[in-house]
Chains A and B, each alone.
Chain A
Amino acid sequence: MIRLLLAVSIILAGSPAEAQTDTNHFNTDSTDVLLADSTITATLVLQLSEDSTRILLDWTLGDSINVILERAGNDSVFATIGSFDPTINSFTDSGVSPGDWYMYRLLNGDSMKDLGAGASVEVPFPIEESRFFRTERTNALLLFLFYAATIVGYISIAKRGAQLFIRKIAGLDAVDEAVGRATEMGRKVLYIPGIMSVDNIQTVASMSILGYVAGKTASYGTNLEVPNKDPLVLATAREVVKEAYLKAGRPDYYNDDMVNYVSYDQFAFTAAIQGLMTREKPATNFLIGSFYAESLIMAEAGNASGAIQVAGTAELAQLPFFVVACDYTLIGEELYAASAYLSREPLILGSIKGQDLAKAVLVGLIILGVILSTSGQQWFADFFIQR
């Protein structure tokens, strides 16, 4: 398969201010900013060779002049790589390394002024056509195999009947209390499974908790409403809730309207939820899944309506909002541990223990990395760089 030449042609012909818009990768504080030559138009086109070992440069000039080609690397410092008379309008730069950034600019060979023509590129790691395994991802494969082995190992320990301890998670202990409160008050339980689709692992984790909550509302005969932003989540949530009601022996309590669709637009969805919380005042709100800017708007509306709120997300930026506005918050990994915690199924508990062991090993590796990097041994930290 012929790999297309990666053409990065950021052509700039104009003032140095315009030229600098192309250099955002580089240190704009660089002292080698030259005077501009605005009397001559110039364009510079850059192409990377198929094997990522050469950069081919072509330029066109509005006048017949000598030019100087300069190159800057990751350090943003320009150095001359060639001087050319008006008959030459191309150059092949063979001294490039994969993973590095390069920027080129053209100068007027007589006045040494910047012609305002520049282009930049990051040289990717070459892809060998015949290669089967992506060798640059060996680190990820090794870590994945270790992690999977740890989890599967602990699952087999759990299968043999070993007692596994899992620490208390206040947010999950509160689920029963929260549903019970709604039952006592005769109001509904509102469950919002985030705004992302089912390909987001947080939504998948949220579906597990939804199954548990639906089982409780079915047992207590409490109203449950699950508004959705994503149609695929709607279909999944309907199955999950229906199954939970069936398992609880209350299939007659279930109706499709409990799990409904609102809007695919983030803020239309937010407005609908805010309105629902204000008008119907659910006794309990679960905000569990992947949330973004709408998290605080929803949580504050729920807080103002006096509902007990249990939130859970792994979105770092939204966690402070939930912590402030909700009664209980599942932070990061607690969200993923919820199914094990709630179901107490030994197999799932085993996987959580495996995860804990892997985390301990990872902490050890981080400490080792800090020690080695501090003593000048960078190879260890480099091994873990994502590629």
Chain B
Amino acid sequence: MRRQIAVLLCFLTGFFVVVAFFIEQDPIPDINEKLDELLVIVFAFALVLGVVSFLQHHSKKIRRRDKGWTSSVISISSLVIMALLGIFESSIRGTGIIGDRTTFDWLFNWVFTPLQATMFSLLAFMIASAAFRAFRIKNIEAAVLMVAAIIVMLGRVSIGQVIFPQSLAISEWIMNNPNLAAQRGILIGAALGAASMAIRVILGIERPYM
């Protein structure tokens, strides 16, 4: 019975959202908007579940002295410190220990944001190592990829046009023709796949949520 109710709810909600895309007679758009708001409310409850899971997971690691348990200590401390500062301090401007900003702001701007930027900047190194592997010529396809990549890279930097003047035009052609055609092929297939999946979920043929 519980399963049937879940499938029915999924069908009704999915069908309603499809209908709301085509119909704008009141109250359908309003109900559709309310459904979006409902998702935000459910999310708030799920976030509590997430925090509990986070605390349980890391406490267990600390108790067992698992590999990397010190990272768990830092994780829990960071969560607690930021939460306490956020709740008790962030609403009172100018009372922070550092200048006229709150400690929460200071930690966010000068610890959290640089850490984020550091992670993101790792991408450059990862791209270099991945490119090195991708450009090893093992067969004809890899050789074609390598030549195309070199031309595109030359076309994207100013010095490339000094080395090989036609690189910009060839690079543009590669990006706008074979590359774009392949991308669109994948995109059309993925869009149809997504729509097919959505229909299966709405009709209850596929029930990944159960």
| B5 CB-CB contact with A under 8 Å | no
| Interface range for A | 35 or more
| Segment of A55-63, A137-145, A168-176, A370-378 engaged in the interface with chain B | A137-145
CB distance from A87 to the nearest CB of B (A): 43
Cα-based distance from A64 to B167 in the complex (angstroms): 56
| B43 CB-CB contact with A under 8 Å | yes
CB pair B53 A234 closer than 8 Å: yes
| A362 CB-CB contact with B under 8 Å | yes
| Segment of B83-91, B150-158, B168-176, B193-201 engaged in the interface with chain A | B193-201
With a CB–CB cut-off of 8 A, which chain A residues contact B193? 314, 332-337, 355
Chain B, interface SS category: helix
Q: Given A205-B197, A275-B68, A324-B133, is A267 in contact with B115 using a C-beta cutoff of 8 Å?
A: yes
From A201, A235, A324, contact of B134 by CB (8 A): A324
Over the window 98-123 of chain B, the binary record of Cβ atoms lying under 8 Å from chain A Cβ atoms (1 yes, 0 no) is: 00000000000000000110011011
| Segment of A24-32, A46-54, A77-85, A257-265 engaged in the interface with chain B | A257-265
CB distance from B110 to the nearest CB of A (A): 16
CB pair B53 A148 closer than 8 Å: no
CB distance from A298 to the nearest CB of B (A): 9
Over the window 203-221 of chain A, the binary record of Cβ atoms lying under 8 Å from chain B Cβ atoms (1 yes, 0 no) is: 0110110010000000000
| A271 CB-CB contact with B under 8 Å | yes
Q: Given A204-B197, A256-B53, A362-B192, is A319 in contact with B24 using a C-beta cutoff of 8 Å?
A: no
From A148, A151, A205, A263, contact of B208 by CB (8 A): A205
| A240 CB-CB contact with B under 8 Å | yes
| B188 CB-CB contact with A under 8 Å | yes
| Segment of A6-14, A36-44, A344-352 engaged in the interface with chain B | A344-352
CB pair A351 B196 closer than 8 Å: yes
| A239 CB-CB contact with B under 8 Å | yes
CB pair B116 A333 closer than 8 Å: no
| B1 CB-CB contact with A under 8 Å | no
Cα-based distance from A231 to B119 in the complex (angstroms): 22
Residue from B49, B71, B119, B197 whose CB has the most chain A CB atoms within 10 Å? B197
CB pair B25 A132 closer than 8 Å: yes
CB distance from B104 to the nearest CB of A (A): 15
Cα-based distance from A111 to B195 in the complex (angstroms): 59
CB pair B206 A348 closer than 8 Å: yes
CB pair A234 B123 closer than 8 Å: no
The chain A residue sitting closest to B205, CB to CB, is A347
With a CB–CB cut-off of 8 A, which chain A residues contact B56? 256-257, 260
With a CB–CB cut-off of 8 A, which chain A residues contact B199? 147-148, 151-152, 351
With a CB–CB cut-off of 8 A, which chain B residues contact A127? 24
| B94 CB-CB contact with A under 8 Å | no
| B97 CB-CB contact with A under 8 Å | no
Residues of B within 8 A of A (CB): 18, 21-26, 39, 42-43, 46-47, 49-51, 53-54, 56-57, 60, 67-68, 71, 75, 115-116, 119-120, 122-123, 126-127, 129-131, 133-134, 183, 186-190, 192-201, 203, 205-206, 208-210
List 9 A-B pairs, minimum CB-CB distance, nearest first.
A336-B193, A333-B193, A332-B190, A231-B50, A231-B46, A207-B208, A261-B50, A267-B119, A333-B189
Interface contacts beyond A232-B43, A339-B197, A351-B200: sample of 13 additional A-B pairs, CB < 8 Å, sorted by A: A144-B195, A199-B39, A202-B194, A234-B49, A240-B208, A260-B57, A262-B54, A265-B116, A314-B190, A316-B186, A332-B187, A351-B199, A354-B196
